[in-house]
């Protein structure tokens, strides 16, 4: 059985037995050799992946923090954008949602 994905450019049939987690892990592995800004996501770890969602962990390092030693909100958005772009490939992402927690 296959699923038809219409991405606006062409139709792509994807087998139901696709190992989405391996695909995501492969995409993240490519970030490790990336010399562009995308390298800030190179330490991401794929936790799970399905056709509708991905879960990724990232231990925050010095390269991710601001002068207050906290992660910058723009960095969070950039990391989400990089991972989502690698997860969906040529597909279009249209909703990003980030909930910033208030510091106590």
pLDDT tens-place string over residues 31-77: 888 888 888 888 889 999 888 788 889 888 888 888 888 888 888 88
**Cα separation of the two ends of the chain:** 51
What is the pLDDT, as a whole number, of residue 48?
A: 92
CB 38 within 8 A of CB 82: yes
Average pLDDT over the chain, rounded to an integer: 76
Paired tokens of 60? 């925050």
Phi and psi, residue 38, nearest 5°: -55, -20
Phi and psi, residue 11, nearest 5°: -95, 135
Q: 55 - beta bridge partners?
A: 48
Q: Which position has the higher pLDDT, 52 or 15?
A: 52
């994905």: which residue's tokens? 5
What is the pLDDT, as a whole number, of residue 16?
A: 57
d(CA 43, CA 41): 6
d(CA 98, CA 62): 21
Q: With 50 as the cut, is the pLDDT of residue 93 above it?
A: yes
Q: Which position has the higher pLDDT, 76 or 92?
A: 76
CB 100 within 8 A of CB 73: yes
Domain boundaries, the chain: 19-104
Domain 19-104 CATH (choose: 3.40.50.720, 3.10.129.10, 3.40.50.1820, 3.20.20.70): 3.10.129.10
């Amino acid at each position: 059985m296959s699923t038809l994905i219409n991405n606006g450019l062409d139709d792509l049939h994807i087998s139901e037995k696709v190992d989405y987690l391996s695909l995501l892990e492969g995409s993240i592995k490519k970030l490790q050799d990336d010399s562009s800004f995308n390298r800030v996501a190179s330490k991401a770890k794929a936790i799970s992946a399905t056709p509708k969602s991905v879960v990724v962990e990232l231990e925050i390092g010095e390269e991710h923090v601001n002068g207050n030693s906290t992660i910058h909100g723009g960095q969070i958005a950039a990391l989400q954008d990089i991972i989502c772009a690698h997860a969906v490939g040529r597909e279009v992402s249209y909703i990003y949602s980030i909930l910033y927690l208030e510091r106590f």
